[in-house]
Structure 1
Amino acid sequence: MKIFRSFIGFFIACTVISANFGQLADLIGPFGGFLAAIILVAPMWFVCHYLNLVDNKPSAVFVDLGIAVGVCCIFRDTLLLGSSAFFEGLPTILLTALGGALGGFASALVEKDMAKIKEERPIIPEPGMTEYEMKQLKIEEDA
């Protein structure tokens, strides 16, 4: 049932976004892309992820909606405009995948560094305690 729910969620999102995003962008220009993201993508994200129409693991990253819409738009254009549309868009697809991989790598490095800083940082019982107060607290605990 999870796969069926996910399929329905992705189908609705892909249909709504791919049918209307380009029209808003063409009508208003670059601002139309931002407007389409707010009007179209945000509600689809809400339905798929927040309402949990699409099965999400607690530790997973929510890139599945972007992949679904991207693949939908690629195949829609390939079916409507022919295989030349796919090959013309291939450099963009590859660079997008490379950018996603680099972004994931950078995110992993940042997360690893944040975990290291968290381990090195002493646990402070109360926010705003000075080093002198921490030393006094340790002396009282040791005694």
Structure 2
Amino acid sequence: MLRSLAGMALVAAAATTLLAAPANASATSTATVESTAARPQLIRTKLSFGRCKDTCQIKVRITNISRKTLFSVKLNARLTINGRNVGTCYDSVGTIRARKVRNASCTIRTATLDRYWNTWLDGDLRSFNKYARTSVSYRYYR
């Protein structure tokens, strides 16, 4: 019983020191790398589509849920139609103050997307299922 409590105290102390490090600090040890991946995110995102035919507009609402100002916020989006990658886009959002919201959008215009849309119009495709994966990166300072 004593050993397990002592081990838990060491783990808790290590976790406390890891959480005190800023998110953009580079990790050197394996324990640090594993702990930084488990950190909670400071943002929430909500995705919506604009016009999505031969060009597709992806709109993302980014909410900063922390008490820290986020700097260098960037959005990357990848669009797939029927499980096939048709294009990517990115947008530089800028700074988001604590507890505030910013909207970002990017437009995908590729020959592959145009080809899929024309095939859909011709009736050769049964469905035109669009799906977007988004990734938002940011930096913050203590």
Higher share in strand: 2
- Which one has more relative contact order, counting CA pairs under 8 Å at least 6 apart? 2
Q: What TM-score do you get using the length of structure 2 for normalisation?
A: 0.27
Larger Rg over CA atoms: 1
Q: What TM-score do you get using the length of structure 1 for normalisation?
A: 0.27
Higher share in helix: 1
